[in-house]
Chains A and B, each alone.
Chain A
Amino acid sequence: MTPPSQINTDAVNVILATDCGSTTTKAIMIEKVDGTYRQTHRGEAPTTVEEPFANVTVGVINALTEIQEVSGRRLIDDEGHIIRPATADAGCDIYISTSSAGGGLQMMVAGVVREMTAASAKRAALGAGAIVMDTIAANDRRRPHEQIQRIRELRPDMVLISGGTDGGDTKKVTEIAELIAPAKPRPRFGKSYELPIIFAGNTDTRPEIERVFGEGGFDLKITDNLRPSLERENLGPARDMIHDVFLEHVMAHAPGYDTLMSITDAAIMPTPGAVGDILQTIAKGRGINAVGVDIGGATTDVFSVFDGTFNRTVSANLGMSYSISNVCAEATMPKILRWVHLDMDERELRNRVKNKMIRPTTIPQSLEALIFEQAVAREALRLAYQQHKEFATTLKGVQQQRTVGDTFSQEAGGETLVDNMKLDLLVASGGVLSHAPRMHQTAMLLIDAFEPEGITELAKDSIFMMPHLGVLSSVHPQAAMEVFEKDCLVYLGTCVAAKGLGKPGKTCFSWSLDSGAKGSGSMAFGELQLIELGVDETAELEVKPARGFDLGAGPGKALTQKIRGGTVGVILDARGRSLSLPEERSACRAAVSNAIEAVDLYGDQPAKVDGRAV
């Protein structure tokens, strides 16, 4: 492996990247075309972590071979090795990889207070790309024997312990360590594997922690405190340590990963960690606030960068196949049904959910099934985003500075960082979003679930390339940025949504594009309108909200901003925020039908679907 600092980025012409997922290994090739980096070819092959191959590199070579066949460029030599460095028609300069095979990185975290050091530990683990199996805290309302039982049930790849500020509490941190050590949680891989314990808590507690875990069976790593004071969070060292331990222990014990690690030019990253990295790079590079979502079959990941602060959440029970029944239970059937404009009752909806539970990996075969699936997706995304808002907060336990002017507006700590009005870019990925038959459907799924306010660009990850680019950004940021902008993201367009509520039919805002050259008009409350503005096109949007509505400049204040078109165009949304649909079923169906018609959601929609009136 060539250290990233020793790579001459100017001399890089061909880059190969793979993402080893649980079922599929996806490979992409990036080439320098006319001075800019572009993603040119892609290939896929089944992941080969399990028997009979039990070697991840087999799947990697297979995926790269597919690219080789498609591109005509020789990438693999006769001995099955990647050819490096690149020549005119063979090999590559950089090879990088991410991995989520075998369930990715699974961690247990612990801290003293659930909302303080334990929350910081969870943020560090999630930010590093891990799935947090459980959080142990002194105030988690479980008795010690219940906590020990839970620790014994879990089989994490590693444990992160935090707690106490520097010079602060030592007693409870030691108590937590004394719960974990005798519980002896068993690792997932290898019987001889010593479970890594990362301690990132009060520096005064280190001798006690060393004593507790020094009896054997653990590989104790000590790093800087996550919360040296309650006013400051220091996640970097803990995240780096998680990454090192991931490579050193988890990957080294996974089949074939020792070989894979030796051939990559940058450290293998957990897939979600890489997605988070690219989102942070883009947000920092463009100076914007961004939200990314990846909805899968079992889980939904939400990433956000607001004012430079990165947060990631994994909603473990919100997904479109294995977790669909949980989505329905959490959201409730009436909430899902409200997005269905067809004449469908709750009983039928339940039958569809049960069918999906029996055959989770099926994809919709009819328009009716698609409408049902997208209704569930809206609720899954909405719930995942709600959980993300609750987790992505300012630090708790921080001393506030007040003036007499704060008498009636005393803001508490732990306020959410997520502000839809400040959101600039919303990126979608995951089957139901990426593979929607029409881009319009992806755009409306995002708008209905996330309820962006003001002016927000909508995009989707074309072929789930973000993990590859995330790890590439650590080696060659320029290439990562260029490919992200040109090939990774498919810009759907821009959503212009007014915040506020009013009476249906009353003016919400007036608008004009390029001083009326590309259209102008007025939106009544409750309306939705689609304006065409093609890919790579931009226009100057002038909007003037009515009194009580806000489009980003303040209530009733006009705003002028350059906006970007896309495959869908500009969606003007005057349905108000927070978005609510009529309670009464027929009125609700009419409202959804109007929205569908306004944005041409299903294209040439038949008058009847499966014999039902639309």
Chain B
Amino acid sequence: MLQMKKRNTLPALACATFAVLVSLLAASVEAAPPEPPTNLAAIDKPWDGGGVVFVTWDASTTPIDQLQGYEILAKDLGQTPVELADQTAEQADLEAKDQTETILEGEGVAPQEARQRARIAEEADPAVPVVEPTTWQSLGIISATETSYEATGLEKDRQYIFTVRSIGSDKSLSMMTTPTEPVVPEAAWFNLSKLPLLIALCVISFAVLLFVVLARGGMPMNIRTIAGLKAVDEAVGRATEMGRSILYINGIQDMDDLQTVAGVTVLGHVSKTAAEYDAKIEVPTSRSLVMTAARETVQSSYFSAGRPDAYNPDLIYYVTDEQFGFVAYVSGMMTREKPAACFYMGSFFAESLILAETGNSVGAIQIAGTANPSQLPFFVAACDYTLIGEEFFAASAYLSGQPDQLGSLKGQDIGKMLAGLFIIVGVVLATIQAITGSSGLEDAVNYLKEVILGS
């Protein structure tokens, strides 16, 4: 029995010893970090808009089944000396503008007002200076089967160095590779991803030129009736019959705003009609330059209507740059003088409803036109007629009937049709993709969304 026991104990001992050895070996393998990848290289992505770097490497010698993936790291070395010198006040202005736009969105405050508020806020609470990152920043972890990475979201015109390290299946990290040479993710002179935009631009430009040529050749260009512009005669007629004045507000922005320019164009038509009807037109402005432009326009209209004697420059005057100061003046004037027709053509903010409601309460026919989407509902509800966005910009062509302008308008319509077509195609593809879950369609949708429509 004992012998039997001895005979059985020897192999058991050998097994135990082997197991211990294996486990020790395994423990020693687990403890060893994976090998880092080799031949790391980083290049700026060609034909792009900047901010993208291609990082490539050779796979780690560690077996792939023992690797979880690779971690890509980048270090921002800051701006190149040249670029640092190029930092201009323009950039600062753009940042300030972004800030003011945010405030605008929220409160319906005019940009000038918003900038002033932002300045005051900045003085009261100076911004904390941004500290340049000097440490390695992880850009992400990718699969062990990959040997390249497209680093996006980098700042243009700053220098970056990159490194990569392997991550073992037990989450152990390899040494970092030798960093790459500094790379600047510069913008190329042509961004290939914007090619669809270039094609669209060519198509639209061609369409505009084609329609201009056709219109000059006598091809009839029909524009659908715009109720707001058709009603100008009606509004001026009402003022004439009621023996009251016409009030024209050209927005509260300066002449550098496209809407103000469009508003001045419409003013030309309204004042010409007023001259023909011998009605009084009053134009208070909130910008001195707008006053000058409005005076020139109205004078020209009175001349073309054959009534230069009736032109009175004193009725076109500057009030104040202050948004609410201007509104207070105009509202007061409307309540006192009760104009029979009010025109609001240009860029408006929070004052839109104040003006339109006051005009409505004095019984005026009101025609508004603006491209500020946030103000449109107020105008639509409180005014008799409203020119919506594009209608407002099309007013010039509509009123003049000149072939060049009509052709240009038709050409732009082709562009809008193209955009509409892409949106419809995108919606259909996205719907099908959502139902079927097709990855091919998902790529197509992403391409459409990010490249074509995104550009």
**B314: CB under 8 A from chain A?**
no
Q: Which of A141, A397, A403, A413 has the most CB of B within 10 A?
A: A397
Q: Which of B370-396 contact A (CB under 8 A)?
A: 376-377, 380-386, 388
Contact B234 A407 (CB under 8 A): no
Indicate with 1 or 0, residue by residue over B20-63, a CB within 8 angstroms of chain A CB atoms.
00000000000000000000000000000000000000000000
Interface of B, helix, strand, loop or mixed by DSSP: helix
Query: Contact partner of B233 among A115, A141, A163, A171, CB < 8 A?
Result: A115
Bound CA–CA A227/B233 (angstroms): 18
Indicate with 1 or 0, residue by residue over B325-368, a CB within 8 angstroms of chain A CB atoms.
00000000000000000000000000000000000000111000
**A400: CB under 8 A from chain B?**
yes
Contact B243 A400 (CB under 8 A): no
Interface of A, helix, strand, loop or mixed by DSSP: loop
Bound CA–CA A402/B381 (angstroms): 5
Q: Which of A115, A138, A141, A412 has the most CB of B within 10 A?
A: A412
Contacts of B383 in A (CB 8 A): 402
Bound CA–CA A139/B232 (angstroms): 14
Given contacts A397-B241, A399-B365, contact A411 B381 (CB under 8 A): no
Contacts of B241 in A (CB 8 A): 112-113, 116-117, 163-165, 168-169, 227, 230, 397
Contact A139 B276 (CB under 8 A): yes
Indicate with 1 or 0, residue by residue over B253-282, a CB within 8 angstroms of chain A CB atoms.
000000000000000000000001110000
Min Cβ gap A554→B in Å is 24
Bound CA–CA A411/B363 (angstroms): 18
Min Cβ gap A447→B in Å is 29
Contacts of A400 in B (CB 8 A): 365, 384-385
A201, closest chain B residue (CB): B241
Bound CA–CA A437/B372 (angstroms): 66
Contact B243 A396 (CB under 8 A): no
**B230: CB under 8 A from chain A?**
yes
Contact B234 A396 (CB under 8 A): yes
Min Cβ gap B103→A in Å is 26
Query: Contact partner of A410 among B227, B237, B276, B278, CB < 8 A?
Result: B227
Contact B242 A165 (CB under 8 A): yes
**A65: CB under 8 A from chain B?**
no
Given contacts A139-B277, A410-B386, A412-B385, contact A396 B242 (CB under 8 A): no
Q: Which of B397-432 contact A (CB under 8 A)?
A: none
Indicate with 1 or 0, residue by residue over A111-153, a CB within 8 angstroms of chain B CB atoms.
0110111000000000000000000001101000000000000
Min Cβ gap B217→A in Å is 23
**B168: CB under 8 A from chain A?**
no
Bound CA–CA A443/B345 (angstroms): 52
Given contacts A139-B237, A406-B380, A413-B231, contact A169 B242 (CB under 8 A): yes
Contacts of A171 in B (CB 8 A): 243
Interface residues in chain A, defined as those with a beta carbon under 8 Å from any beta carbon in chain B: 112-113, 115-117, 138-139, 141, 163-165, 168-172, 227, 230, 396-397, 399-400, 402-404, 406-407, 410-414
Name the 7 nearest CB pairs between A and B, nearest first. A169-B243, A397-B238, A113-B237, A400-B384, A168-B242, A410-B227, A168-B243
List 15 contacting pairs A-B, 8 Å CB cutoff, sorted by A.
A115-B234, A116-B238, A139-B277, A164-B243, A169-B243, A170-B243, A172-B240, A230-B242, A402-B380, A402-B381, A402-B383, A407-B388, A410-B385, A411-B227, A412-B385
